[in-house]
Structure 1
């Protein structure tokens, strides 16, 4: 009776091996073909997030990793956006999608109006068109209701320029510049 247990376990193990695939992983579009594409794009087998010895990683790959900084968009533009609108209450910030939305902000010097800002960081690279700002303005009516009001289009452009200036400052500071 003792010899029947090992045979039973061996038969059970072999019974689980009957599912044989007829196509190799490359033909099915499985992980092997994905890894091959990654190797073609990055020049490494495991992709950009692997350990690189002796500085063999390309400058472009280093720049992509440096700019990512743990977020889905350019880290300098992301940080600069938060720094630039830090006086407004942030309602939502999605670092992977690159979207920052503030809550309504009412300046103390203009109690009859309030503003809401949305900043979209569009890219992983530090570029002038990598950030888009939208601004909404409301004015209080005589009855106390908030009504939509127009915003000077130059205001959004000015805020985008401030974000870009701050992002450049952050990049220079990170690279050891002035």
Structure 2
């Protein structure tokens, strides 16, 4: 019986000694994972998802994905058109059909695409769609739009964007 007690006591001590040797998970793995996570980045940027912006930052948040002057000038220039969709991050403005009061049988629709962050003429593309109503018919038929109409609208937006930029530069901070 004493041999049995000695064996049980020895096994109990062996188990207790084994418990003391185990150190658990290594602390190096979470540190390495954290470094890897920081190196890969986040879809929300360095600071994560921040509501209200960073108080110490001069950038004022993420901002627009396109040139702000072209964006504002586009909205100002076509402000009389009803907006269907406006995406400041993708630079897309789509209007609904607009019928001028002086020509009730003609309607227009615009798609404005701002293609970059620089204020350049090739950073803007406008598509104009025109339809005419055939008297006595419920159908609107497509009518070709002259390139001059598209070009004059693009030039009006670019001129307004330049005015906004000059006004922003000449303003004291």
> TM exceeds 0.5?
yes
The aligned residue for residue 21 of structure 1 is 29
The aligned residue for residue 32 of structure 1 is 39
Instruction: Provide the aligned C-alpha RMSD in A.
Output: 3.5
Aligned residue for 1:93, secondary structure, equals strand
Structure number with greater Rg is: 2
Aligned residues: 141
Judge conservation of contact 1:118–1:134 (CA < 8 Å) in 2.
Answer: yes
1:121 equivalent to 2:128? Answer no
Matches within 5 A, 1:57-136: 70-136=63-129
Unaligned segments of structure 1, at least 5 residues: 1-10, 39-44, 53-61
The aligned residue for residue 162 of structure 1 is 156
C-alpha separation in 2, matches of 1:19 and 1:157: 64
C-alpha separation in 2, matches of 1:126 and 1:31: 34
TM-score calculated relative to the size of structure 2? 0.67
Unaligned segments of structure 2, at least 5 residues: 1-19, 48-53
C-alpha separation in 2, matches of 1:141 and 1:103: 20
Cα deviation, 1:115-165, whole Å, max 9, x if unaligned, reads 000101111111111111001111101313111111111111111111000
Cα deviation, 1:39-66, whole Å, max 9, x if unaligned, reads xxxxxx98xx8957xxxxxxxxx9xx59
